[in-house]
Structure 1
C-alpha cells in the first residue's frame, strides 16, 4: 500500500491487545505510516474506544476515511466475556480491587439463563463512575479517583442478544461463579454496567473479569490483524 492509499482513506481492522489503550493503538499505527512514507502528518482515528482491560476489534480509519468514523461508531457491536458472580468492584471490572462479597448459594444455572431476559430490548443503564464520560468538563473517573460523589444520569441502550455460553462454579464460594456470555448491543452500552446490574438482578453482586469485542457492524475480529502484524507488513 502507498502513502496515497492511506491518505485517500483506509479502514484497518485491528485486534487490540490487553493493556493497550485505543489511543496507544492509533498512535502506533499513525507513527508507522508517517515513518514509512516520511509524512509530516496523516489523520488516523478509531471508531469506538476499547478499555485497556478489553481486547478485540478496533476499527481504525486513515486519511479521508476518518470522516466516516461516526458511521462506524453507531453500528451494532458484539462482545464476549466473563462475569464473576458473587463479588463487586467500584469500577465494575478488574481496574479496581474487590470491595464486597455476596452470597451465591441461591443461584442456579437455570436462574442465570432466565435472568438474561430482563435485559433484552431497550433498558435504562447507568454508566460506571470509572468511565471517560464528561460531567462539568471533567471525566467521571477523575471524580471517582478523588473519592468524590457525582450524580450520574441513566441512558437508554439497546441489547438485542444476551446469551450465556458457559457457567462454571468455583471450588470456593468466595471465588464466586464464572459466567461466560455473548452480548449484541447498541452504541453506548457499558458491559461493565451490565455485569453490575446482572449481579443485582440475581440478588447478589457481579463484576466483569474478561471482555472481548468480536464485531462492529459487519466487521469481525477474525478478519482483524494484530498491531505487530500491521507493523511487520511494512517490512515485507
Structure 2
C-alpha cells in the first residue's frame, strides 16, 4: 500500500497514529482499524494492538501497531504522555469524570488563580497516586470498574508516577485547563481529584485530550475516516 510516496506493509508491521474519537474505547479503535485493513486488503488474520489506553470520554493520540510490530508495543507504552485537561471545580463524581452522576457540590468562589498556580507546583515530581476505582486496573483478577459498577467496595493500591510539567493554561471559574506532562501509568482523573481535594472544592475531569506520547504528536495523527480513505486509494 502506498500513500504520499510511502509503502505500507501491515503484516510485517506498521506504526500508526490515530486521533481517538470521543465515546470510543481504545479497543473500538483497534477493532475498527483491523476490520478496515483486513476487509480492504483481503487479509485473513492480522495482529493489531494499541500502546496505551485512553478513556472513552477522552480524545487524542493513540499509537496503533500492526503485524510483527505489535511485539514492540510495550516499548511505546513506556513513553511519557502529554495532555490538555479541563476540570470543573465545585463538583465531584465517583468516577472523577462524566461517566457517573454528580455526587457532591461545593463552594469554589474563594479560589484564586495564584492559589491554583502555587498548588500545581506541589504536584510536580515523583509521587504515589491512587488509581480510580472506575479504571481498567486489575484487582484480584478482575477489572476494578467491574467491582465499581456492581457497587462492590475495592481497595486500590497506590502507584508511583511522576509529573514532569503542570501548567495552568486557562482560568475561568469553575473551569480550569491544564497542560500536563507525566509518566506512564498516571491517571489524570486521579490528579484532578487530588487537586480538587487540596483546594477544598472538589473537582472532576470535564474534558481530556492526549496531545503527545513521547516524541509523537497529535498533530501528526489521522482520523479513522481519513485512514479509511487512504485504504480505499490503494
Q: What residue in structure 2 maps to residue 200 of structure 1?
A: 197
**1:132-211 aligned within 5 A:** 132-169=136-173, 177-211=174-208
Superposition TM-score, scaled by structure 2 size: 0.95
1:149-176 alpha-carbon deviations (Å, 9 max, x no partner): 111111110000001100002xxxxxxx
Q: Does 1:36 align with 2:33?
A: no
CA–CA distance in structure 2, aligned partners of residues 50 and 164 of structure 1: 22
- Provide structure 2 residue ranges, at least 5 long, that are not aligned to the other structure: none
Partner of residue 122 from structure 1, selected from 112, 126, 149: 126
TM-score (norm 1): 0.95
CA displacement 1:120-168 (0-9 Å, x = unmatched): 0001100000001111111111111111111111111000000110000
Per the alignment, residue 230 of structure 1 pairs with 227
Aligned residues: 229
Residue 173 of structure 1: aligned partner: none
State the match for 1:174 in structure 2.
Answer: none
Residue of structure 2 equivalent to 1:215: 212
Runs of 4+ in 1 over 2 A off after TM superposition: none
Return the match for 1:12 from 12, 16, 24.
16
1:4 deviates by 7.1
Instruction: State the match for 1:85 in structure 2.
Output: 89
Structure 1 residue 68: Cα displacement:
0.8
Q: Please provide the CA RMSD for this pair.
A: 1.2
Deviation of residue 8 (structure 1)? 1.2
